[in-house]
Amino acid sequence: MADLRTVNELLAGSVGGAAQVLVGQPLDTIKTRAQVAPRDMFKGPMDVFIQTVRKEGAFALYKGMLSPLLGIAGVNSLLFASYGLAKRVVTPFGELSLPQTALAGAMAGASNAVLASPVEMFKVRMQGQYGSPSDKRLTVVFREMWSEWGFRKGVMRGYWVTVAREIPAYAGFYTAYEYSKRKFAKKYGDQLPIWALLASGSTGGIAYWLACYPLDVVKSRVQLRKTPPVGTPVQYIAHELKEIVVESRSLSGLFRGLSPSLLRSIPAAASTFAAFEITREYLKDYTGV
């Protein structure tokens, strides 16, 4: 029974992940470029949008989508299945408290980083190209990273900062999501209307970014660099945080691109959870678990 329940979560997670990428990619591209572009290239997120569309066309907002679209089934399947298993590990008895939900979310986030790290790395490197004749296809980027740096320093570059990002991010994500769902359930019962699922997912998405954003900026910069980071994960994360503050002359550099991330989180997280919950309910009716 537990195995079939995990299979349902894997399948529903794949559907939710595909919805997330299709809905959220344009704003994700704006967010990444705001994080990693030279300071004098763009005036802000809106300028990123205007210049990208003007110089590269509207489809440039979907640059780098192939990597998450190919990998998102695995990433979100692992995330939702890990969260389901983590909940059962934290307590097999009844509904989790919100602190227990945060713990289960953190455990799921740590597991999720295994697949999220390479998917994010290739996405960031594609988004960090600005429409010049020398821009590379995903296959070329993959081949170069593999041949020059290998698996650990190439394909998995930024793994530990991804772990550091995912733990607080998904602790916040699931806590906010479950809190919102429970508030709605008190009024509407267990069968929530679709708008309530969308609102709960949006709340979770906003909490995700607020919990981890400076680490996401570090991750993007580390993954886009020509060479791998040096030192221990703690050392290179601390060094990168310091560099960001020095470059921007304030703490504001740690939050470059936050506004498109928050805007993206509303439709992307809403569609993810709505697709996940609807698919899981369908599979539950079909399989009985």
Q: Which residues are CB-neighbours of 152 under 8 A, at least 6 positions away? A: 159
Q: Which residues are CB-neighbours of 287 under 8 A, at least 6 positions away? A: 4, 8
Find, among 200, 214, 235, the residue nearest to 101 by Cα.
200
pLDDT band at 6 (very low <50, low <70, confident <90, very high): confident
Question: Counting beta carbons within 10 angstroms of the beta carbon of residue 17, is it exposed (0 to 12), middle (13 to 18) or buried (19 or more)?
Answer: buried
Average pLDDT over residues 153-169: 96
pLDDT at 3: 66
Average pLDDT over residues 110-138: 91
- Structural domain of residue 181, as residue ranges? 2-287
Q: What is the mean pLDDT of the chain?
A: 89
Q: How many domains does the chain have?
A: 1
pLDDT at 259 over 80: yes
pLDDT at 1 over 50: no
What is the distance between the alpha carbons of residues 215 and 203, in angstroms, rounded to a whole number?
A: 20
pLDDT at 16 over 90: no
Question: Counting beta carbons within 10 angstroms of the beta carbon of residue 106, is it exposed (0 to 12), middle (13 to 18) or buried (19 or more)?
Answer: buried
pLDDT at 169 over 90: yes
pLDDT band at 261 (very low <50, low <70, confident <90, very high): confident
DSSP H helices in 37-65: 45-56
What is the distance between the alpha carbons of residues 251 and 244, in angstroms, rounded to a whole number?
A: 8
Render pLDDT for 218-251 as a digit per residue (tens, 0 to 9).
Answer: 999 999 999 999 999 999 999 999 999 999 989 9
Render pLDDT for 39-88 as a digit per residue (tens, 0 to 9).
Answer: 788 988 999 999 999 999 998 998 888 887 777 767 777 887 889 889 98
The percentage of residues in the chain with a pLDDT greater than 70, rounded to a whole number, is 98
pTM of the predicted model as reported, rounded to 2 decimal places:
0.83
Average pLDDT over residues 127-148: 92
- Please give the C-alpha separations between residue 255 and each of 36, 72, 117, 167, in angstroms, as whole numbers: 12, 25, 20, 19
Q: What is the CATH number of the domain that holds 227?
A: 1.50.40.10
